[in-house]
Each structure stands twice: as C-alpha cells, then as structure tokens.
Chains A and B, each alone.
Chain A
C-alpha cells in the first residue's frame, strides 16, 4: 500500500492518525530501533524517521541536540536507510523520512529515492524545501513510488494554501506554531482555525505537528485535525531516562495519546465519503 492509500484508509475508517517522530541513531542506533518498535506497538500509524543534519534550522534545541548526538556517533544518510530497511520488515506502520535537503542532494536525489524505496520507506518530508524548490525532489521521489509530503505554516497565505494543497499527496503536515520544533505548544483555538482554513481547500488528511507535547494537546488538536505528529516530546522523554528505559517510557506515553485521540474519534461519526470507496 502507498502512503497515500494508507492515510486515506485511516481517515475513511474514522481513525485519527498518530505519527511518532524519532531522530535516527538517537540516543544510539539500537535504542532508536527499539523506540520505533515501541511506537509501533503503542499504536502509531506512521513513523517519521528524522535524518540528522548538522545545521537543522527548523528545529528547536531538543531535536538539534539529538541530531548532534547521533552525528557524533557516526550516523549517515546511508546508515539511516539501512536502519529503515531493517525496521520496515519488522513493523507495519509505514516509515517516512524527514530530512533537510543537503544530505539528499549530496547522495543524489535519484539514488536517495531509489534506496529509500527499496528499504521500504513510503514517504519523504524535506523541512527546508518550500513549494518553490520542490519540483525536482517531488518528481523524483514520486517516480519511485514514494509520497512527497508538503508542509503548511500559520503564515501561509490563502493563495499558497490553495496552490500547495492542490498538488499535495498522502497528508499535509500542518506546522502548528510559527517557530521551530518543540519550542512552544500551540493554542487549541489557533489549531482549529488553521485546520479549518486548510480544510476549505482540500480533502487530504491534515496532520498537526510542532509542539504537541501531551495527550490532552493531541486530543484537542484531533477535534479538528485528522492526526497529530509528536517529536520533541518523545526525544525529551528518551533523554530523561537511561537508554535502556527509553522505549518503554515512550510506549507508555504514546499509548496514552492513542487512547486520548481514539476517544475523539469514537465520539464523532466516522466520515462517510462515498466518492472515496469506489
């Protein structure tokens, strides 16, 4: 199944999507792999694997530090792809790479897309590639059957929302706050307003990320959004304990989040959308 089909199936079944973001190789390779498996057991629907970069301008201190630590231990994009290959054969949720553009350019977009695809990766998000720069990477990864995910921000104009949404696939990543990852948590009312603005323009599932740090925030975001992406909060938890305890710690937390967003889904009627069940 492609990522596109997966996210649509989730939405059509009325299930809110839970997406975990984990930095590849943090705190070490083995613990990272175990954390991904834990996230899968806890009921995550998609796992985002963060590709460490030396200069992550869209990230706050928590993810920055995790990237630095992972790089100090020698993680490379090539190694991230190997780890993804190992994981995709063991867990069911699709894997999505979240990267900055430079490591991808250095490897060559073609080779990156080809290797990521054969490793079983289903989607790609590039934090520092806006619409204006996306043509090449979007078309190459799509050729290999991966889904290219677009981001929208609270500062995006209605025109941009319209243009970006009309070319988007899989889901749209709504950056919930004006800022970097993990620094601030969004106001619930701002999330609702943002989701509604985008909803007017597209049928695609809308997942909210950046700054979602608790089950109650996830639940409130899912009142309007189709899913939530949790990253910095997981890394922070992993950082607060011994590596050996990190997988269990995040699993417990993600189970709580799962429960909270499932309650929202249960209290709403599943989306009936006859056009989509052809």
Chain B
C-alpha cells in the first residue's frame, strides 16, 4: 500500500505517466514545509492579497431565527470575504507557490461552481503562468458570472460535454490534459480529493480556516464551540475548519452533503460505497458493477459523486457526523441569510446553513450552544440561477 492513506482510504490510483510528477510534488511540498521563506510568502499573500484573517461574525438575527428560545449563538467564519469570494483561494495561493518551485509554467484546473476556477485563474495571473480551466457545460450555464471572471483573468476555458457535463467530467478532462502536458503543467486540484499528496496538501493549506476560527472563537467566547458545521463537496472547506479541532473531543462536527432532489443527490458519504475515482479510494456513488453514478445538486460545487478520502476515514471512525440537506432546504437558507443578515451566501455554503436550522430545531442541540458555521463562499455567482428557480 502506498503512502498518503487515511486508514484504508486514499492512495495513488493514477497511470504510471503521472507517478513521477506526484513524487516530485510530494518532495517539493516536504521541502517547502521546511523552508520558512515559503510559509512567510504564503502568509504575506494571505494577509495583503486575499484579506486574511477573515472575520468571525456573530450572526445574531440568524441565531434567533434558527435557534428560537434555545439562546444559541451562531458564528459565521467569513470565507466569503476572501478575495475571489470563497475559501478556494487559500489552496490556490499555496499551490501556485509549489508550481513555481517546480518550475512549472502552466496551470490546469477543474471547476464546478467556478469558484476554484476563478481562484486558479487569479493566481495564474498573479504568478504569470498560463492557465486552462475545464468546466462542465451545465456548470458553464448555471455559474455564468464566474465564466466571465475567468475570461477576464486571462484563463482559457474548455467546456466539457461528456457524462453529466459537471464537475466529475471536468475533472476527467483536467487529468487527461495533465497526463499529456505533465512536464510543463501543474494541476491545482480544487479540493481534498485526487491522488496523494493532494488531499494532504489541500487540507493543510485550508487548515488556516480552522486555525483562525479557533483563536477567534476563544477570544470572544472564552471557550471552544460546541459544534462545527460545514458543507462537503470534495471536502476542503469542511476539513479546513475541522482539522485543527479534531483532537478536541467536546467539539462535535457535522459535514453536510447535497441531498439534491428527485433528480438525484451527491451524498457520497451518506449513500455511497468505497471505490476509486480520480486517483483515490473513498466513498463513492457507484453501481453494483463499479461504474460511477451521476450526482446531482443545485450547488455546482457539491455536484460530485466522490468525496475526499480523509472524510471517509472520519465517517468510519465516527469523529464527524455526515448529513445531507435538499436543494430546496439549501435554497431557503440562501434566502434566510440574505434577508436576515444582509449576506448572500453561496448555494454550497447554504447547505451548511440549512443543516444548522435542522440541528437547532431538534434535540441534537442543547440550549446555549455555540455553533460555528463555515460560510465557505459568497453567492454572487448564484444570483442568476436562483432567480430562475424562484421566478421561473
């Protein structure tokens, strides 16, 4: 068994052509971690370019609306206030530094919601690298504002028409490009998925979310939160929040998958079985015959039949509980936060909010709890799609 396992999950299920490059990436990353200049440069970029630390905001009106008489306090970790509008930039800045260390001149990436595509196109512009983004045709339609942003940032956008024309298929095409151009090209994978070392690198880069949130909540509440809630697509914003709290036994953690609609869902952890997709072994929506099923979600960034391998381990160990909420519930939460707090959340993040509403309305929560939700991104990209659903 290879390195980079999370229990039995993870691994490096890729064609031989890519192995030397994964080995190089592991070595480069190990090297960078020992180099104080790497940490310092990343820190400077976080601080002056993307706007970290992001605020931790006590959402009082939302707390009252969702918590009723329970007197709970909901805090939002404002990843939506990052430059480019989501947590994705945390990962992209770090990986761009790694790409430069490996002397790669070209970047490729997949995108679903377009947030990772925008963040990748952004760092490619900043680091003067050429950039190609693969995006499913369905996502190009439903996340149109982000397509325009990527173009302005100088990226080439390749529409993907195979399969369900969403994130899974865009990822296949990105891997094919990478296999072909691996000598010059770095693949900035957008979540804690893919072959080792990606799930570890992305988790470590996103852990800045939990590191900050921990400090911030202790500062205002003088204690740790009772519950952490985050949406789970590939799993990067959630693991980024959870990871620094994993050892804190009293902090409960909830990962929220996309429950979709009668058209289908994306609950790989809730409904899937272990299988290999995109280079790693993890829970997967698949048929009896080992063919990958199409996922569905109103949120393009959650519309993926797989999930990061570390979440599979956290599910099996019971450390994190995974639930799902439907398209409809996410959509109401989207409207709730907009009206109650003046914050338009991403449809992905709205899944975390919708779960918080359920959580606070039943016996899983106790009075007076402190709940920390990762608001992974802002909803500017979603306003057109939401309008179409609300006023067809």
Residues of A at the B interface (CB closer than 8 Å) are: 53-58, 60, 64, 68, 71, 76-78, 100-107, 127-133, 135-136, 150-157, 160, 164, 175, 178-180, 183-184
With A55-B278, A150-B16, A155-B182 known, 15 other A-B pairs at CB within 8 A are: A54-B163, A57-B278, A77-B289, A77-B290, A100-B276, A102-B292, A128-B13, A128-B276, A131-B16, A131-B19, A133-B1, A135-B1, A160-B20, A179-B180, A183-B180
User: Is A178's CB under 8 angstroms from B183's CB?
Assistant: yes
Q: Is B286 an interface residue (CB 8 A)?
A: yes
Give the A-B contact count at a CB cut-off of 8 A: 126
Q: Which residues of A contact B172 (CB under 8 A)?
A: 55-57
User: Is B179's CB under 8 angstroms from A102's CB?
Assistant: no
From the candidates B12, B13, B17, B278, name the one contacting A178 in the complex (CB within 8 A).
B17
CB distance from A236 to the nearest CB of B (A): 17
Residues of B at the A interface (CB closer than 8 Å) are: 1-3, 11-21, 162-163, 168, 172, 175-176, 179-183, 274-279, 281, 284, 286, 288-292
CB distance from A207 to the nearest CB of B (A): 15
Q: Which residues of B contact A128 (CB under 8 A)?
A: 13-15, 276, 279
- In the complex formed, the residue of B with least CB distance to A134 is B2
CB distance from A110 to the nearest CB of B (A): 15
- Report Cα–Cα, A152/B292, bound state, in Å: 27
User: Is B17's CB under 8 angstroms from A153's CB?
Assistant: yes
- Report Cα–Cα, A11/B175, bound state, in Å: 35
Closest 7 CB pairs of A and B: A106-B290, A103-B290, A132-B2, A179-B180, A153-B17, A54-B291, A76-B289
- Report Cα–Cα, A184/B179, bound state, in Å: 12
User: Is A102's CB under 8 angstroms from B15's CB?
Assistant: no
User: Is B11's CB under 8 angstroms from A175's CB?
Assistant: no
- Report Cα–Cα, A225/B87, bound state, in Å: 50
User: Is A153's CB under 8 angstroms from B275's CB?
Assistant: no
Q: Which residues of A contact B12 (CB under 8 A)?
A: 130, 132-133
CB distance from A34 to the nearest CB of B (A): 24
User: Is B286's CB under 8 angstroms from A102's CB?
Assistant: yes
CB distance from A77 to the nearest CB of B (A): 6
Q: Which residues of B contact A106 (CB under 8 A)?
A: 275, 286, 288-290
From the candidates A60, A131, A150, A155, name the one contacting B176 in the complex (CB within 8 A).
A60
Known contacts A55-B292, A135-B1, A151 near B13 by CB under 8 Å: no
User: Is B179's CB under 8 angstroms from A180's CB?
Assistant: yes
User: Is A58's CB under 8 angstroms from B286's CB?
Assistant: no
User: Is A105's CB under 8 angstroms from B1's CB?
Assistant: no
From the candidates A78, A131, A164, A179, name the one contacting B289 in the complex (CB within 8 A).
A78
- Report Cα–Cα, A77/B290, bound state, in Å: 9
CB distance from A134 to the nearest CB of B (A): 10
Q: Which residues of B contact A179 (CB under 8 A)?
A: 17, 176, 179-180
From the candidates B15, B180, B281, B288, name the one contacting A130 in the complex (CB within 8 A).
B15
User: Is B2's CB under 8 angstroms from A64's CB?
Assistant: no
From the candidates A54, A175, A183, name the one contacting B16 in the complex (CB within 8 A).
A175
User: Is A157's CB under 8 angstroms from B15's CB?
Assistant: no
- In the complex formed, the residue of B with least CB distance to A128 is B13
User: Is A132's CB under 8 angstroms from B19's CB?
Assistant: yes
From the candidates B179, B276, B278, name the one contacting A105 in the complex (CB within 8 A).
B276
Known contacts A64-B162, A104-B290, A133 near B13 by CB under 8 Å: yes
Q: Which residues of B contact A180 (CB under 8 A)?
A: 176, 179-180
Q: Which residues of B contact A104 (CB under 8 A)?
A: 290
Known contacts A106-B289, A179-B180, A153 near B276 by CB under 8 Å: no
- Report Cα–Cα, A98/B305, bound state, in Å: 24
